[in-house]
């Protein structure tokens, strides 16, 4: 009996020794879609928005929610039969079990959505494959690298030259409402896929219009920018429409200053179930939409604002496409992303 146990233990040790872990900062691994990635003890801390921006009262964005990696991708090439993704939970960030999924692409083709917990990917066939892992909508984690077969090779992912797309907004652009998939089902990701863009999703759930977000685009390449922001402002300020419009104007001014050549699309909200708001709001959501559209068109009619365009998404989805009063479900986000894509 002891001999059998020894043989089994030896077999387990051999299996364990047959794998190797590649650190997150290995040059063969690309982390895309995040503007701020830092490494400590070979762990990657992924931030979509510079932590230095948080603090001032006029930056109405939650750092703990911004830690969510919506739209971020990890790419690498390997011939390993199995790949384990290694992550470590960030306890200070917001967590949502229904969104703890990773979208896996192999050689440009969608392979599967896999739930969290250091998941294992099975190669579809022998040989070298390029993998693209799309991180969750919420669920911030430290990326601790990948584990592959000891005899397997890891090669750098092929760098791609794409037009760069920044999505700015709140939870509806962040991806709230979509579940049991990686963030590839959020509407900005769908737009990016349809047009072959490199996506940076800067939208953060529960945020309000914060003109300082334009600082993130300063000195960076940006070809396309979408803005869909204002719902939480309307919801929180009880209809102080002038204040919302003023901050939206400042946002456009800032973006034109830091990105004078980028095409900027002001996207208006699709249907919600709270169009009228609560008593005392002072304005309805349609009234705010009209005010923001009028402002965007005012900019667009000026010589320096000729790259600003308006997309009226009011009728892009119906109530069937909503997960709750305002957030899109999986099918609603797919429809909205398709409709916005057609307008670009």
Dump pLDDT digits (tens) for 121-131.
Answer: 999 999 999 99
Residue ranges in the chain assigned as alpha helix (H): 2-17, 63-66, 171-174, 187-195, 231-236, 241-258, 285-300, 330-343
Hey, what are 323's tokens?
């997960």
User: How confident is the model at residue 159, as a pLDDT?
Assistant: 84
Average pLDDT, the chain: 92
Residue 167 · residue 337 · CB < 8 Å: no
What angle (nearest 5°) sits at the alpha carbon of residue 237, between those of residues 235 and 240? 115
**Dihedral Cα 235, 240, 246, 250, nearest 10 deg:** -30
Residue 166 · residue 214 · CB < 8 Å: no
User: How confident is the model at residue 239, as a pLDDT?
Assistant: 61
Cα 173–chain centre separation: 8
User: How confident is the model at residue 2, as a pLDDT?
Assistant: 42
Residue 279 has pLDDT above 90, yes or no: no
28 phi and psi angles, rounded to 5 deg: -80, -10
In the block, tokens 């997960």 appear at 323
Hey, what are 80's tokens?
């390993």
| Each residue's pLDDT tens digit, 222-258 | 999 999 999 999 887 666 889 999 999 999 999 999 9
- CA-to-CA dists, residue 30 to 10, 140, 155, 216, angstroms: 36, 18, 11, 20
User: How confident is the model at residue 3, as a pLDDT?
Assistant: 44
Model confidence at 42, pLDDT cuts 50, 70, 90, reads confident
| Each residue's pLDDT tens digit, 76-88 | 999 999 999 999 9
The continuous run of DSSP H or E covering 103 comes out as: strand 101-106
Residue 135 has pLDDT above 90, yes or no: yes
Prediction pTM value: 0.93
- Single out the residue of 315, 309, 308 nearest to residue 336, CA to CA: 315
Domains of the chain (ranges, CATH numbers): 20-155 (2.60.120.260), 164-343 (3.40.50.1110)
Report how far residue 73's alpha carbon sits from residue 102's, in angstroms, rounded to the nearest whole number: 10
Other CB atoms within 10 A of residue 126 CB: 8
């Amino acid at each position: 009996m002891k001999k059998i146990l020894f043989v089994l233990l030896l077999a387990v040790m051999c299996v364990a020794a047959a794998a190797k872990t590649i650190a997150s900062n290995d040059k063969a691994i690309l982390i895309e879609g995040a503007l701020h990635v830092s490494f400590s003890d070979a762990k990657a801390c992924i931030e979509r928005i510079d932590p230095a921006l948080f603090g001032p009262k006029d930056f109405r964005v939650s750092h703990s929610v911004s830690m969510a990696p919506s739209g971020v991708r990890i790419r690498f090439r390997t011939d390993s039969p199995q790949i384990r993704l290694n992550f470590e939970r960030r306890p200070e960030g917001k967590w949502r079990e229904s969104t703890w999924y990773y979208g896996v692409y192999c050689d440009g083709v969608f392979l599967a959505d896999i739930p969290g917990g250091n998941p294992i990917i099975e190669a579809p066939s022998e040989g070298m494959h390029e993998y693209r892992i799309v991180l969750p909508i919420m669920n911030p984690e430290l990326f601790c690298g990948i584990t592959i077969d000891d005899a397997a090779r890891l090669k750098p992912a092929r760098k791609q030259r794409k037009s760069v797309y920044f999505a700015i907004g709140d939870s509806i652009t962040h991806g709230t409402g979509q579940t049991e998939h990686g963030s590839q089902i959020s509407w900005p990701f769908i737009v990016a896929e349809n047009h072959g863009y490199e996506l940076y999703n800067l939208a953060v759930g529960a945020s309000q219009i914060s003109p300082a977000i334009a600082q993130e685009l300063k000195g960076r390449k940006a070809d396309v920018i979408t803005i869909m922001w204002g719902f939480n402002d309307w919801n929180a300020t009880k209809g102080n429409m002038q204040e919302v419009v003023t901050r939206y104007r400042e946002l456009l001014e800032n973006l034109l200053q830091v990105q004078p050549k980028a095409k900027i699309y002001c996207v208006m909200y699709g249907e919600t179930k709270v169009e009228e708001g609560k008593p005392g709001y002072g304005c309805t959501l349609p009234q705010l939409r009209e005010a923001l559209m009028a402002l965007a068109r005012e900019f667009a009619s000026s010589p320096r604002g000729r790259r600003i365009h308006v997309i009226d998404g009011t009728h892009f989805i119906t109530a069937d496409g909503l997960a709750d009063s305002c957030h899109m479900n999986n099918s609603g986000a797919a429809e909205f992303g398709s409709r916005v894509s057609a307008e670009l």
